[in-house]
Amino acid sequence: MLWTASLCLLWALSIVGAPVNKQRQRVLLISFDGFRWDYDRDVDTPNLDKMAMDGVKALYVTPPYLTITSPTHFTLLTGRYIENHGVIHNMWFNTTTTEKRPYYQTQFVNEWWDNGTLPIWITAQRQGLKAGSLHFPGTASSYQGQVAMVREVEPLLYNYKNETAWRENTDKVMGWFRDQDLDFVSLYFGEPDSTGHKYGPDSPERREMVKQVDRTVGYIRNSAEQHGLTDSLNIIITADHGMSTVYRNGLVEEITLSKIPGFSFRDLSFHLVDFGPSGMLLPKPGKLEKVYSALKGAHPHLHVYKKEEMPERLHFAKNDRILPIILWADPGYVINGYFPVQFHKGEHGFDNQEMDMKPFFRAVGPVFHKNLEVGPFETVNIYPLMCHILGIQPEVNDGHLNATKHMLVTSATAQDVNFLRNVFTGLAAVAGFLVIVFIVMVSHTMIKNKRKNKRPANLKHLPEKENTKQTAF
C-alpha cells in the first residue's frame, strides 16, 4: 500500500514540471489601403490612439519597391521582396501580345499570383490551421492548387467607401473566427487610397476619410469583444503604401516621354507608363542602348535604370517579369507617355525611401505589449511575426523576427506564468492524490477490523494465526 502511495505521489509531483499548453492565438491582418504614416496627425483619431495605448504603435513602416497595391500586399502575405515573389505590378501584362489587364481583372489571373511563393493562408492550412481572407489582394487565386479555406472577393465596381459595408464585413470576419474556428484572416479596406488619389493627401476629404477609418477601428475592436475573441485575437493594422501630392497646373515641368529628344515609342516592343510615377520599357532588339541613352538625364526628376543596374536596396531587378529599363519619378511628378492622361491629385509608386510612401502600423492583442511605441521597420518583417504568433513554420522569406519580437510579451514572462500555473496544478494534484491514498488506507483498515469482529464465537479464544488459517480453510 505504501508502495502504491509513493508512486502516486511521485507522479503527482512530476506534474509540477510538466508543460502547460499555451493559450491559442489567432491573427487578424487588416490593411487600410494608402494610409500614410502621419495621417493621424492632423485628424482626431481616438480609436487609433486607444489602440496604441492598449498595444503597439510603430513610428512608420517601409514597404517594398514598387510602392503600389498588389505587389506590396503580397509582400505582407509572404514576407518576400517583390523581385522574389513575382507579383511585380497591379497589372498583368503580356509583352508578346501587348495585352494589359487592369487591377481587378488581374486578381483572377491565377498564374500571375501562383508563381512559386505561398501566402500565409496556404502555409497555415498545410500546418493544420484554418485561414480566410476578405477582399485582400491575391484572395481570388489558388496556390499550388489550394485556396484560403474561407474567402470572399469583392464584386466588380465595388464601393470601397461604404462605411456600412465596412461594418458588415467586420462582423462577417469576426463570425468566421467564432463560428468557423479560423486561426488567421486577412481583411482589406480600399480607403483612404481612393480619396487620396482623387482629392490629394492634404485635402479635407482625406481627413474626413481618416475619421471614417478611425471609427471603423473602434468598431473592429468592439466587434471582436462582442464575438468573445478578446483573449485570443491579435489584430495587426497596417497599409501597403502612403500617398504624395502631384504637382500640376504649370507648377513644374511635367515628364512626358514623347517630348524627350532622341526617344521614340517606335523603338519599344512594349511599355508600362501612364500609371503614376513608375514605368517599365521593353526596347526592340538592338534598341536598348538608344532608348536608355535618350532617357538617362533627360529630366532632372526622372530616374532611369537598366534592370541590372538597379540599386540593390530596392530589391526590384532579379525577376524575369521585370522589364529591361525601369523608370521612376521624384515625389510630385508622374511619368506621361505620349501626352498627359493622369489627373490624380495624389499618387504612390515612388521610391520607398520617401517619407510620403511610408504606411502606418498598429497592433493589439494578448501577445503584444501595451502602450509601446517602436521605431520603423520594413513590412517584410510582418510575415515572420504573424507566423510566430500562430506557431507555424514560415516559408522562405526576406523578413526577420528580430525586427519585431520586442513588441511581444517576453518569453521569460510567459515562462513565469506557465511555471506558476504548473506549480498550482501540481500542488492540487499532490493534495488530491494524498486524499485518495488516505481514503484507501482508512477503508482498508475499517474492512480489516470488520472482518475481525465477524469471527465465530467458539473460535475467538484461538490464537490469531491459527484462527486465520482455519477461517481461510
Backbone torsions φ then ψ of 267, nearest 5 degrees: -85, 0
Q: Which residue of the set 62, 69, 72, 117 is catalytic?
A: 69
| Three-class DSSP category at 176 | helix
Q: Which residue has the cell 504568433?
A: 389
Q: Which residue has the cell 482625406?
A: 206
Q: Is 69 a catalytic residue?
A: yes
Backbone torsions φ then ψ of 226, nearest 5 degrees: -65, -30
Instruction: Determine the Cα–Cα distance for residues 426 and 418; give it in Å rounded to an integer.
Output: 12
Pairing of strands 335-336, 278-283: unpaired
Sequence-distant (6+) residues with CB within 8 A of 415 are: none
Please say whether the beta carbons of 124 and 116 come within 8 A: no
Euclidean distance between the first and final Cα of the chain, in Å? 26
Q: Is 44 exposed, middle or buried (0-12, 13-18, 19+ CB in 10 A)?
A: exposed
Q: Is 426 exposed, middle or buried (0-12, 13-18, 19+ CB in 10 A)?
A: middle
Report CA 39 to chain centroid distance, whole Å: 21
Instruction: Determine the Cα–Cα distance for residues 314 and 302; give it in Å rounded to an integer.
Output: 16
Please say whether the beta carbons of 58 and 374 come within 8 A: yes
At residue 409's C-alpha, the angle toward residues 403 and 412, to 5°, is: 105
Cell of 186: 486577412
Instruction: Determine the Cα–Cα distance for residues 408 and 365; give it in Å rounded to an integer.
Output: 10
Q: Give catalytic residues, as residue numbers.
A: 69
